[in-house]
Amino acid sequence: MAYQEQPAESRHIVVETPNAIREEVHLESVRDPDRRGVSGAALAAIVVGVIALAAIVILFVMNQNQRDAMNADAAQQQQPPTTIVQQPAQQPPIIVQQPAPIIINGQPAPAAGGSSNASSGPDDGSIQSAIDKKLYDDPMLTTLGITATVLNGKATLMGSVKTEALKAQAERAVKDVIGVKSVDNQISVG
């Protein structure tokens, strides 16, 4: 701290002793601290403020580094977006199995309609397989999710298409399958 020296003060003191009287002169110079300087309390406050500021800066830098590391990990885990084209789910075909014929005395029993099953052509299982293959092999029909069921040679079509033309195309494809007697087209257009 800087001190400013003020002019000296002189004091004359008379001292009486048993032997003599003498006069003493005391000169005193007074030093006052320079009021323009920095006090100890202000200096301590500045030091504490600088330390606090340094701590905040260090914490900010550490947090920023941690955030950058987390962003790098996230970017590394994230792969470029892929376009997923979702096609309508193709429902598995419904297979209706007929009970095995009852054989009496070496002869098969007549079917419920009175006619023999052997003369009716291909069975429903083979017709169903042929229809499923036909719908699957056609590039226009395979993505539509049309399902077909066969019972006694009658094919029932179910599903949804966008146009009447696609509905008619599916019906024509099923009619062309050997063994199909009729087509019940329940495909909705929408």
Strand partners, 15: 22
Domain assignment present for 82: no
Residue 48 placed within a domain: yes
Does any domain span residue 81?
A: no
Residue 105 placed within a domain:
no
Task: Report the C-alpha gap between 104 and 6 in whole angstroms.
Answer: 144
Residues 132 and 172 in one domain: yes
Q: Could you tell me if 12 and 51 lie in one domain?
A: no
* Same domain flag for 129 and 184: yes
Enter the tokens of residue 65: 């580094």
Instruction: State pLDDT tens for residues 158-180.
Output: 999 999 999 999 999 999 999 99
Residues 45 and 61 in one domain: yes
Q: Helix, strand, or coil here: 100?
A: coil
**DSSP reduced 3-state for 189:** strand
Q: Give the model confidence (pLDDT) of 37-84 as tens digits.
A: 667 888 899 999 999 999 999 999 999 988 888 877 777 666 666 666
| Same domain, residue pair 32 and 57 | no
DSSP string, 19-57: S-EEEEEEEE--EEE-TTS--HHHHHHHHHHHHHHHHHH
- Single pTM value for the model: 0.38
Contact criterion met (CB below 8 Å) for 182 and 155: yes
Beta-ladder partners of 150: 155
Total domains in the fold of the chain: 3
Q: Which domain holds residue 138?
A: 121-189
pLDDT at 144: 84
Looking at residue 72, its pLDDT comes to 76
CATH classification of the domain holding 167: 3.30.1340.30
- The answer to whether residues 23 and 52 belong to one domain is no
